[in-house]
Chains A and B, each alone.
Chain A
Amino acid sequence: MRSPPIPEMATQEVQLNETLAHLKTESETLKTKLEEERAKLHDVELHQVAEKVEALGQFVMKTRRTLKGHGNKVLCMDWCKDKRRIVSSSQDGKVIVWDAFTTNKEHAVTMPCTWVMACAYAPSGCAVACGGLDNKCSVYPLSLDKNENLAAKKKSVAMHTNYLSACSFTNSDMQILTSSGDGTCALWDVESGQLLQSFHGHAADVLCLDLAPSETGNTFVSGGCDKKANVWDMRSGQCIQSFETHESDINSVRYYPSGDAFASGSDDATCRLYDLRADREVAIYSKESIIFGVSSVDFSLSGRLLFGGYNDYTINVWDVLKGTRVSILFGHENRVSTLRVSPDGTAFCTGSWDHTLRIWA
């Protein structure tokens, strides 16, 4: 380091370093205090509270439909509110809209990029959003005319500086929330493409996000390669709670149906449950025999079951309250990359690197 020629500058540098050291100490103290405060309220484990709850019986869940048509790994899927249509996206650049009852393909769009990592159905059912290595999120209105070229009506909404990892419409077709490999999340106006709010705080790629159920207000949770799950206020852009207990990338986050908690799935082969009002992790769903990462998680309608799609091609079904595994489902011939329960909870859909989607019930 070049020594400053003027004595005043030397004093300034010393002051700066002192302030920096002071702030470092303050941050360490605050971190310790945070852990202490959280620990004070940790009076019992969730599974202990749930000891008296009746154990779950045997589950019979099978593949009821197989959706074939993608030419490469399925990376993402989403249900339409009508509980029967599904949009899926793939490494081959295709985005397909299916009728899950009949397995017919209703629409197909070829994106200009490969690895379409994110897709979402609009609440109205009239449009889908998708994106990936193109760093954008684009919205395609769905036409009733099967012959119409969907690509022509495409609207570019979000622009990130790295890949798009996840996207979700908010309560209406008018706004989209995105997460990106550039470490940020962002809220966009669909019509104008304007950035409404950006969310900074992750120290690495953000891989997933989920919006709180509408009754609980304007928050969402995100998970990233920095092993953190952050809860954000959508209006202020502020991170209001942060959880760092996973030991590796968080690939999926999903709110508990009441909105008071959320689950996460990670490359550390565990799923975890975080309660927002207790402000801490309250359960870990893991087994010594499960060593492959979790790519996606979702709850059943009542929140009693947690479904996890794993990189070892299986789906593990967990009893959320008791912390035990109730079922393991086989069928996919490669990693399960995406998993969502249908809007009315009658089935769940998985997408896999084996190019197919399966509906389970």
Chain B
Amino acid sequence: MTSNSNLSNMRRLVEQLKLEASVERIKVSQAAADLQQYCLQNASKDALLVGVPTGSNPFREPRSCAVV
């Protein structure tokens, strides 16, 4: 019966919304500060961000031509 499946769908939706509403949240200021801190802490290891000493990025090496 369509009404019964509608009902069970609605019940499931309400349960899902209750679950999502109960999630513990932190303030955006705190979350943003943490994201920023992670970026800054790992910046030196990020080759695409800071570059790496010449010769240590295998893709930036000029490579010898291979005859295919």
Contacts and interface: CB of A to CB of B under 8 A. Distances in A.
Interface stretch (A214-222, A276-284, A286-294): A276-284
Interface string A94-107: 00000011111000
A143 interface: no
Contacts of B10: 20, 23-24, 27
B29 A43 contact: yes
A88 interface: no
Interface residues of B, number: 46
A239 B42 CA distance: 31
Given A20-B6, A23-B14, A346-B47, A49 B36 contact: yes
A257 B26 contact: no
Given A260-B35, A275-B28, A320-B39, A84 B14 contact: no
Contact of B38 (A17, A42, A44, A302): A302
Interface string B1-16: 0011011001101101
A280 B28 contact: yes
Given A31-B17, A49-B33, A347-B48, A303 B42 contact: yes
Given A61-B48, A300-B46, A302-B46, A279 B23 contact: yes
A25 B36 CA distance: 40
Interface string A174-187: 00000000000000
A361 B57 contact: yes
Decide if the interface of chain B is mainly helix, strand, loop or mixed: helix
A34 interface: yes
A344 interface: yes
A122 B48 CA distance: 25
A346 B58 contact: yes
26 contacts: A13-B3, A16-B3, A20-B10, A27-B10, A42-B28, A43-B29, A45-B32, A46-B35, A49-B36, A53-B39, A84-B58, A101-B59, A240-B20, A242-B20, A261-B31, A278-B25, A279-B25, A280-B28, A282-B32, A301-B42, A301-B47, A302-B46, A320-B35, A347-B48, A361-B57, A361-B60
Interface of B: 3-4, 6-7, 10-11, 13-14, 16-21, 23, 25-36, 38-43, 45-49, 52, 57-60, 63, 66, 68
Given A34-B20, A240-B20, A347-B47, 14 more contacts: A20-B3, A23-B10, A24-B10, A104-B68, A258-B35, A260-B31, A275-B31, A302-B40, A302-B46, A302-B49, A305-B46, A345-B47, A346-B57, A346-B58
